[in-house]
Structure 1
Amino acid sequence: MTLAEAFRSVLAQGVHGLCFSPYLEGQAPGAQVSEAQIRQRLEVCRPHARWIRSFSCTDGHEQTPRIAHELGLKTLVGAWLGADAEINVREIDNVIALARAGCADLVAVGNEVLLRGDLTEDELIDCIARVKAALPGIPVGYVDAYFIFENYPRVTAACDVVMANCYPFWEGCPREQALPYMRQMLEKTRAVSAGKRVIISETGWPHQGSPFHGALPGPTAAVQYFVETAVWAEREGIEWFHFAAFDEAWKVGAEGDVGAFWGLWDKDAKLKYL
């Protein structure tokens, strides 16, 4: 089977989950997103994933979980936490309301907050505790780089489910060694999770941009990593979310030139690797 055939086979079968952002060209965090654009982009994803992970519950993103459920997708719903306390309150209020309305199968309170230094450990734990208290029966956790859960055991203990971002690329790992390296990241997270459910909340490989130490972007590398991860995860029963569904041009400012090129589909929702 050629790599292109393997890619088509994985897409036809569908992966566990996709990290989803509905931003169109010219949009970035802070822009208002519409129901129409969310629905249009989710329709693209629907045949190829069982779960959708959303990142925010404000600026229109709070519509994503409801629409995803309408389309038969399960939802990992994220409340985006940062340094702005007022926005954090709105995000938490909205994720609680969405989950109470039946739109969230899993809830993530924050994404890489500790990695960025936006909140203290105690502040983050307070946010997790508030959401957990409001949503009995719904699994609540936190998303961060895999090594954070070893470094912050109190945060790990506060989670019902541990959600680890695992990026061999960002640790300069050559593509040929990336899957074994990512598996090590998962095992390190499991080792400190006290038997809790562990999800790979993000992993992927960019198809374009500058190298990062020994990690080289490229279309072949991106497809190989996606296919190898999907086949391994399906065989081992691993819950994982590919980052990302779509390219996002705005991420160049935050992550350099590779930031815009992590999607399976490009910024115009055209599948890149067929």
Structure 2
Amino acid sequence: MSFRKERLQNFKRPEGIRKELLYDEKSPEDIKSLFLEVLHGGVSGFCFSIYEEGQKPGTIISDAQVRRRMQILKPYTNSVRSFSCIEGNELVPKIAKEFGMKTLVGAWLGTDKEKNLQEIMSLIQLARDGYVDYAAVGNEVLYRKDLTEHELLEIISYVKKEIPDIPVGYVDAYYEFAERPAITEACDVIFCNCYPFWEGTGFNDSFEHMQQMYHHALMAGNGKKVIITETGWPSQGQSLRGAEPSNLNAMKYFINTNLWAIDENIEVFYFSSFDETWKVGPEGDVGAHWGIWDKSEKLKFVDGHIS
């Protein structure tokens, strides 16, 4: 989807001026207008939030549910990222392709070897059937210590042999690719998650920090393509050191990230599309508020008081 940059000329910063400083003279309504301008202009990609209220991983998801959420996202992006290939998640790339969208399809790996095998074989079949543009073998598996590096390398090697025409990578925090050169070497493309919030970075430094994260992974990749598979900012919840959730910060982070991605021609899958209540468990109250749409699939930030 082309982005009409000429519509944003009033917001272009002078060379060398930090983008955050532009917001000093902007009212909340100004920021909301720019947020909508960026969103409607079209963004690189969204992480597909599949679970509704009362659902969580393990819930079997229907075709109708995936299709409804895909219809909401389609006007704003041409790419989606999925996180699993079983329990209805395999419908995400299939329906995305019906909508003419690109896909980054992930096999979720954990400690359950039987489920891991199901995920891997489903990913391979989806790729062979033409539903996969990028294949992600695992998501933060090493961060969680669910698999050893050797185990993960064996799985990546197997998947690459089975789908040789599809770029294969592994998703993890940006710094893992410098610390684990064997994993980096095995990947066709580097899939890195970049979260200034989770490192306690205050909003005014968040954009620069996110860029540093990306370039850290870029240097580790030694010429390989790097895609930001997750980055975002929560709108509500508990602060983490200097990182404060708020509607305004969430909008400004969305604007900064997506204008930069356009300017630098970087692929970004923004986290996330919809709020998911189940994430309160693993991430605390802030985990439920990363979406651009709320848990009822209503676009956030556009009605009522903004703070």
Amino acid at match of 1:214: G
The residue aligned with 1:17 is: 45
Query: How far did 1:72 drift?
Result: 1.3
- 2:49/2:275 contact within 8 Å kept: no
Is 1:27 the equivalent of 2:27? Answer: no
- Note the 1:56-135 alignment, pairs <5 A: 56-135=84-163
- 2:120/2:159 contact within 8 Å kept: yes
- Note the 1:1-274 alignment, pairs <5 A: 2-274=30-302
Query: Structure 2: how far apart are the matches of 1:241 and 1:235?
Result: 16
Amino acid at match of 2:61: V
Query: How far did 1:24 drift?
Result: 1.1
- 2:110/2:141 contact within 8 Å kept: yes
CA deviations 1:77-104 (Å, max 9, x no partner) are 0000000000000000000000000000
Moved over 4 A (4+): none
TM-score of the superposed pair, with normalisation by structure 2: 0.88
Aligned length: 274
Return the structure number with greater strand share: 1
Query: How far did 1:21 drift?
Result: 2.0
**What is the CA RMSD across the aligned residues, in angstroms?**
0.7
Query: Structure 1: how far apart are the matches of 2:80 and 2:37?
Result: 20
CA deviations 1:16-37 (Å, max 9, x no partner) are 0000022111000000000000
Query: How far did 1:146 drift?
Result: 0.4
Segments of structure 2 that go 5 or more residues without pairing to the other structure are: 1-10, 12-29, 303-307
Q: Secondary structure at the match of 1:179?
A: helix
CA deviations 1:140-161 (Å, max 9, x no partner) are 0000000111111100000000
CA deviations 1:139-193 (Å, max 9, x no partner) are 0000000011111110000000000000000001000110110000011111110
CA deviations 1:25-68 (Å, max 9, x no partner) are 10000000000000000100001112100000010111110100
Query: How far did 1:136 drift?
Result: 1.1
Segments of structure 1 that go 5 or more residues without pairing to the other structure are: none
Give identity over the alignment, percent: 53
